[in-house]
Amino acid sequence: MRKKWWAAGVFMALAASVMAAELDLGDFDDDLMRSMDDAVKELDSNVGGQDAKASLANAAVLGEGFAWAEKYFAGKPQAPLGAGYAREGKEHLAALVQAIETGNFDAASNGVRAVIKTCKACHEAYKPPE
């Protein structure tokens, strides 16, 4: 059974890399992704420092980015997972914001990790080689 799951995982990874190779990202907003990258790094630090105001500002940048990415990938049939990753990021972000607003920075820290994990999954599937 493990071999079947392993084989399925390898197949999915190969399929994602082939799809990413065929995906035209020429119209992708690189500046937005850089802003999101900066925001998630600052968010991690701000949540760790229990700075609610700065954390919420970072979350707002991420929220705008996830909304943009969801619309962008919805128009890219060769990237079927992209919009889902963006929605997942928005869900994690909503829980993170709720944790910040209630002062639960332990939960917010877990939320930051969940957002980062979602970003990495999307980048592994669709980020073009540099």
Q: Is the dihedral of CA 84, 29, 118, 5 positive or negative?
A: positive
Q: pLDDT of 80-105, one tens digit each?
A: 999 999 999 999 999 999 999 999 99
Q: pLDDT of 13-63, one tens digit each?
A: 444 444 444 677 777 888 999 999 999 999 999 999 999 999 999 999 999
Position 3 scores a pLDDT of 54
| Calpha distance 111→114 (Å, rounded) | 5
* Residue 60: count of CB within 10 angstroms of its CB: 13
Q: pLDDT of 18-28, one tens digit each?
A: 444 467 777 78
Position 27 scores a pLDDT of 79
Q: Which amino acid, 31? A: D
CATH class of 2-126: mainly alpha
What pTM value is reported for the model?
A: 0.79
